[in-house]
């Protein structure tokens, strides 16, 4: 009888482990940047609660726009590494969690968190 109870308990624990989904790791908060649209208008872009360890090409400042973004502000709870080129390539700069920011001299096209 003891063997059957132990087996049932082990099987129940194994099923519970399979049933509980793994939580996705994401930075909480907002990453903000400024840019000039293709039409020449000033605009702000942002990412909300971005996933960790994933490269984000910033909307509005990709290959279709000759002007990169600038003035990034990291208001997430994770380190943000910004890149001068798309696909997280080229020169990079790290922005600290919550208060990290840079002036309009820092040009950005992509970012990764974590």
The reported pLDDT for the residue numbered 24 is 56
Contact 93, 82 (CB under 8 A): yes
pTM (predicted TM-score): 0.77
- Give the tens place of pLDDT for each residue, 42-66: 999 999 999 999 999 999 998 789 9
**Domains, the chain:** 29-113 (2.60.20.10)
Burial class (CB in 10 A: 0-12, 13-18, 19+), 88: middle
- Nearest by Cα to 82 from 12, 18, 34: 34
Grouped pLDDT means (10 residues each) for the chain, 114 residues: 45 42 73 96 97 96 91 97 97 96 96 96
């Amino acid at each position: 009888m003891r063997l059957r109870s132990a087996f049932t308990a082990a099987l129940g624990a194994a099923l519970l482990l399979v049933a509980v989904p793994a939580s996705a790791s994401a930075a909480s908060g907002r990453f903000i940047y400024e840019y000039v649209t293709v039409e020449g208008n000033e605009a702000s872009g942002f990412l909300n609660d971005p996933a960790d360890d994933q490269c984000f090409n910033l909307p509005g400042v990709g290959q279709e726009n000759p002007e990169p973004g600038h003035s990034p502000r990291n208001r997430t709870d994770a380190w943000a590494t910004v890149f001068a080129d798309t696909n997280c390539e080229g020169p990079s700069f790290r922005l600290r969690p919550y208060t990290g920011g840079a002036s309009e001299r820092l040009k950005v096209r992509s970012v990764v968190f974590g």
